[in-house]
């Protein structure tokens, strides 16, 4: 079958199939006289494998590793599991990061009146977490700080 058909059956776009091939994730497909790539059922199967792994958030490199293990019939399931747990840890790290943002923002949003008034703790926090006061145009006050290296995320609500 041609690439379009393989794409339809695997759920991986033709563009991505070519890209994966170029990336070495998949072996170069057989070509017809005219240069058309053609695929077998086994190829479609592999493509579905790739797609599923991709849906689970694996990176291309991770997928390449998984594919290698899949093809290796003498693999040790421990290796597969290690890849999976490592990926789970990475996903959890990202989740925690996003949750930190949500926590901070939710907190700030809660204390924002959300009405016609301009006072807003969200902006106050972004502007420096400095408690109420001076909020003129952004190009005209000089009371800035200057020492500390900046504190990575983690916010404290500040209500004006």
Partner DNA sequence: CATTGACCTTCCCACAATGGGAAGCCTTAT
Partner DNA sequence: ATAAGGCTTCCCATTGTGGGAAGGTCAATG
User: Nearer Cβ to DNA, position 61 or 99?
Assistant: 61
Q: Which residues contact 77 (CB under 8 A, 6 or more apart)?
A: none
CB 7 within 8 A of CB 14: yes
CB 44 within 8 A of CB 9: yes
CB 61 within 8 A of CB 83: no
Which of DNA, a copy of itself, none sits in contact with 127, Cβ below 5 to 8 A by type?
a copy of itself
Which of DNA, a copy of itself, none sits in contact with 95, Cβ below 5 to 8 A by type?
a copy of itself
Q: Which of residues 84-143 bind a copy of itself (CB under 8 A)?
A: 84-85, 87-88, 91-92, 94-95, 98-99, 101-102, 104-106, 108-109, 112-120, 122-123, 125-129, 131-133, 135-143
Query: Closest Cα partner for 42 from 29, 53, 31?
Result: 29
User: Nearer Cβ to a copy of itself, position 34 or 142?
Assistant: 142
One of 19, 24, 53, 60 touching a copy of itself (CB under 8 A) = 53
One of 9, 10, 11, 18 touching DNA (CB under 7 A) = 18
Residue 28: DSSP 8-state? P
Residue 130, classified by CB atoms within 10 Å of its CB into exposed (0-12), middle (13-18) or buried (19+), is middle
Exposure class string for 80-89: b at 16+ Cβ within 10 A, else e: eeebeeebee
Is 78 a binder of DNA (CB under 7 A)?
no
User: Nearer Cβ to a copy of itself, position 34 or 140?
Assistant: 140
Which of a copy of itself, DNA, none sits in contact with 119, Cβ below 5 to 8 A by type?
a copy of itself
Q: Which residues contact 58 (CB under 8 A, 6 or more apart)?
A: 66, 87
User: In the complex, which residues of this chain contact DNA (CB under 7 A)?
Assistant: 2-5, 7, 13-16, 18-19, 32-37, 54, 58-62
């Amino acid at each position: 079958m041609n690439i379009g058909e393989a794409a339809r059956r695997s759920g991986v776009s033709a563009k991505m199939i070519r890209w994966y091939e170029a990336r070495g994730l998949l072996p170069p497909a057989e070509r017809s006289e005219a240069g058309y790539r053609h695929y077998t059922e086994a190829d479609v199967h592999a493509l579905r494998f790739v797609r599923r792994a991709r849906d689970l958030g694996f990176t291309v490199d991770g997928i390449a590793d998984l594919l290698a293990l899949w093809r290796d019939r003498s693999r040790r399931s421990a290796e597969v599991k290690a890849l999976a747990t490592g990926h789970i840890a990475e996903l959890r790290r990202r989740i925690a990061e996003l949750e930190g943002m949500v926590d901070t923002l939710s907190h700030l949003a809660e204390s924002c009146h959300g009405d016609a008034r301009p006072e807003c703790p969200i902006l106050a926090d972004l502007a420096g977490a400095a408690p109420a006061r001076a909020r003129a145009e952004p190009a005209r006050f000089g009371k800035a700080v200057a020492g500390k290296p900046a504190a990575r995320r983690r916010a404290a609500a500040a209500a004006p």
